[in-house]
Amino acid sequence: MSSTFGQIFRIHTWGESHGGAVGVVIDGCPSQVPLDVAEIQVELDRRRPGQSRLTTPRQEADRAEILSGVFEGRTLGTPILVLVRNEDARAEAYEQMRDVYRPSHADFTYEAKYGIRNWQGGGRASARETIGRVAAGAIARKVLSLFGVGEIVAFVSQVHTVEAKCEAVAVTREQVEASITRCPDASAAEEMIRRIDDARRAGDSLGGVVTCVAHGVPAGLGEPVFEKLDAELARALLSLPACKGFEIGSGFAGTRLTGSEHNDPFFVEAGRVRTRTNRSGGVQGGISNGEPIVVRAAFKPTATIRKEQETVNRALESVSLEAQGRHDPCVLPRAVPMVEAMVALVLCDHLLRQRATVAPAGGFSG
C-alpha cells in the first residue's frame, strides 16, 4: 500500500480509523526550523470531528504528540513522528457492516485488492487518515513561511447547488473561520447550513467544492513534463477521501473562451514580471509563474448515509443497508484544512527540490 507522499519533504501516514492511534512520519524537513506542537494542534483542531453540528458527533480531542525529530523547539533534520491517539473509537457500531459492502465506499474495492479489509469504520479508507496529512501540512507551512511564501487559504465555495460569491484571492482566514461552514460569504453560508441540516435530518448527505489560494509562491516551482506543479497539486488533492474533481485557474470554464480571451498578458511591476489576469491559476507550462495559485477540489456527498440502500454482501446476496455509525452529513467544512495541508505539502516539496536543482547566483566556483 502506498502511504508515502513527496520526494524531498516526504511524509508517510499510518493508522486506522478505529485502531489505537493515527499519525505521520515526516522525513526531509530542514533542520533548525522553529516548531512547537501547538502550531500543529491549531490545524488539527480545525480538522477534528465534533466541532459543530455540521460534522460527525465523534468526540476526539486529536491531541498531537511529537515523538521524534524535534529538540528544544527546533527540528533536528531527522524524521519527525507525530502521533494522535484514537480516544472515541466505537468499532461495535460497524458490526452490521462486517460482511456488507457500503455503496460508493471503499469496502468492496479494498477487499478486491487485498483480500481482507478492516470493516471498523473503513480502516485506512477513513478520513481519519488525514490527521497525519494535516499535521505534516502544518510543518510544511512553517517551512514555506521561512522562505517567504505567503498564506495558504482554502474555503468552502459551494455546497450542493449553493455557491459563494466572493473574490477568491481576497478571502482571509478570519473570514473563513467566521462560519461553521467555512464559507466566507455570509449569505451563502446561512443557506449552506440550512441544506446540510436538512440532509442530516433526512439521513442523507451533500457534496460541494473547496477553493484554495496560495499567496506569495515564487516563480519557478514545478517540472515541465511529468511532474508539472498543477499535475502534482491534482494528484495531492484527488488523493483526499471523497475528492472526485480538480480544477486550476479557469479550469473547465476556460474551454468556453478563445485563446485571446483566455491568455494572461504579461507586464512589469516594480521590476517583476506579472500577469494582468490569472486564468492560468498561477501555473504555466507546469511551473509556477509568481501569481497566486488558485485551485478547486470537488468532494462527493458522504458515501455512508442512514437512508436505506440496496447493496450486496460477501456471500453475493442482495441486501438492504441502513448504515450506522457517526458520519459527516457534508465533508466540506472539515475538508478545508485538509486541502490547505496537501497544497502546502506539494509547494514545500517543490520549493526544496528547486533549491536542490538550481545553482547559486553566479554558478559554482572551485
pLDDT at 97: 77
Q: Which residues contact 327 (CB under 8 A, 6 or more apart)?
A: 56, 205, 302, 304, 305
Residue 326 has pLDDT above 80, yes or no: no
113 versus 57: the higher-pLDDT residue is 113
The cell for 117 is: 479489509
pLDDT at 1: 57
Average pLDDT in the 315-344 region? 90
The cell for 254 is: 476556460
Q: Ramachandran region of residue 163, left (φ > 0), alpha (ψ -120 to 50) or beta?
A: beta
Average pLDDT for the chain: 92
Assign domain 4-357 to its CATH superfamily: Chorismate synthase AroC (3.60.150.10)
pLDDT at 162: 98
125 versus 14: the higher-pLDDT residue is 14
Please tell me the pTM assigned to this model: 0.94
Maximum Cα–Cα distance for the chain, whole Å?
A: 74
The cell for 318 is: 442482495
CA distances from 203 to 90, 93, 200, 309, 366 (A): 20, 16, 5, 11, 70
CA angle 216, 130, 160 (to 5 degrees): 80
Helix, strand, or coil (residue 330): strand
Domain ranges of the chain: 4-357
Q: Note the pLDDT tens digit of each residue in 265-304.
A: 999 999 999 999 999 999 999 999 999 999 999 999 998 8
Q: Note the pLDDT tens digit of each residue in 90-134.
A: 666 677 778 899 899 899 999 999 999 888 777 888 889 999 999
Q: Which of 190-199, 210-219, 249-258, 351-360 has the lowest mean pLDDT?
A: 351-360
CA distances from 100 to 92, 303, 329 (A): 15, 14, 21
